[in-house]
Structure 1
Amino acid sequence: METSPQLFQDFTKRYYLPARPYGFALFRLYFRLKVTGVNQIPPTGGVILVPNHTSFLDPPLLSSAVPRVIYFLMLHQHYYHPWFHWLFRRLPCIPMKRSAAGGTAFKHCLQVLEHEQILCMFPEGGISREHKAQGLRHGAALLAVHTHAPIVPVGIYGASKALALKQWFPRPRAITINFGKPLYAPVSDSHDKALLQYITEQTMEQVQALLSKREKKT
């Protein structure tokens, strides 16, 4: 059975936010981490972060860069991995089965946003290098229509060079995180598939623009 999110206040008061500055300092030193546009994230209220996903480094990088608690939607098999479950169950993670769209995980995501927290969703459903909107899941768009929480697109550049798939230890490669302007879904029927596809495409276009912004400088 999928585990529900921990008490929201625990991460703020105990270890998550107190440890964040140390993680950010470490990433700045090792990855020369640069962050732009983090002020685009509203300081209060529910927010949906939608980044590209190219490396297992993405969640810790985002957690260090954002001065609020982030709840991550992650695949069930990763959450219950025998080596890392002890860690993930102590962090703001929401496990999801690919075949259970709209189930318990979706309800937990709604709960996170209703408690005015930040939810991070990787619309590609896993690590990918394509960053294309075609065939993507509409979960972020559906939640935005349901809750009126803004979607903040995020472009993470360099993480796959620092820690590629099947690589055990990260290399000291430069990483940049660009946060874009919030996108607000119109008040509409959440069953409007055309609207959900439009919101998803607009979000991924912004993600790609944030990546292109970084790539032009290299």
Structure 2
Amino acid sequence: MTFYDFAKSVVTGVFKPLYRVEAIGLGNFPKEGGVLLCSNHIHNFDPIIVGIMAPRPVHYMAKEEIFNVPVLGNIVRKCNAFPVKRGFNDREALRTGLKILKDGHVFGLFPEGTRSKTGELGKGLSGAGFFALRSTASVVPCAVIGPYKSFRKLKVVYGQPIDLEEMRKEKASAEQVTELIMSKIEKLIKEHQ
């Protein structure tokens, strides 16, 4: 058993009953190949919740400062996270993200770039479109719905992979692709609220 699997089973045992987490649409999640998993961001626990409910291990970018915290930095790294310098065009982080997708793994991303203070879906940044266009990965929209309150139901909804073939052919911009991804996340939220 890997450290990731061990950590996932421990965290699942705590979070799943506490927030009564339900996964919807797991059949939409590709069983193999690169997956760009794009979710809304309403709480600091979103990466954990989306990660434990996903049927495959998820890799995330995390702010560089976390990796400098003793013990925590090591745990985060062993849970498939890699550092990103916020506020910079971090080429190394972009290369790492693309490599994860190219190697057939799941890369989890929160296109809004930061947690929504209101719980409303914000504007997506072009990073999601960048990764979608620069890879051949399946792009799966995801929505975290519900309050993070003990014993109240929290849903993680995985939508169908977004068909980007036409947009890739037409050389759509990263912004246009991000807008499409955000519209799919918004649709999931509206359908499952």
Indicate the percent of aligned positions where both proteins have the same amino acid: 24
Q: Which of 75, 81, 86 is residue 87 of structure 1 equivalent to? A: 75
For structure 1, the residue ranges without an aligned partner over 5 or more in a row are 1-12, 163-170
C-alpha contact (below 8 Å) 2:36/2:138 kept by paired residues: yes
Partner of residue 122, structure 2: 132
* DSSP 3-state at the match of 2:177: helix
Superposed displacement of residue 40, structure 1: 0.8
Distance in 2 (CA, whole Å) between partners of 1:212 and 1:200 is 18
Kindly indicate whether residue 139 of structure 2 is the aligned counterpart of residue 151 of structure 1. Answer: yes
Structure 1 match to 2:45: 57
> Structure 2 residue aligned with 1:104, among 82, 89, 92?
92
Listed as ranges, the gaps of 5+ residues in structure 2 are none
Taking structure 2 as the reference length, what is the TM-score of the superposition? 0.86
Amino acid paired to 1:95: P
Equivalent residues in 2 for 1:177-192 (5 A)?
Answer: 177-186=156-165, 187-188=168-169
| Conserved? CA contact 1:148–1:184, under 8 Å | no
- The CA RMSD measured in Å over matched residues stands at 2.2
Which amino acid counterpart does residue 163 of structure 2 have in structure 1?
Y
Q: How many residues align?
A: 189
SS state at 2:144 partner: strand
Q: C-alpha deviations, 1:151-209, integer Å up to 9, x for none?
A: 111110125x33xxxxxxxx3432111111101323348xx6x5322211111111112
Calculate the TM-score normalised by the size of structure 1. Answer: 0.77
Q: 1:157 to 1:81 in 2, by over 3 A?
A: farther
Call closer, same or farther: CA 1:126–1:77 in 2, change over 3 Å: farther
* Shift, 1:21, TM fit: 4.5
Aligned partner of 1:173 among 142, 152, 171: 152
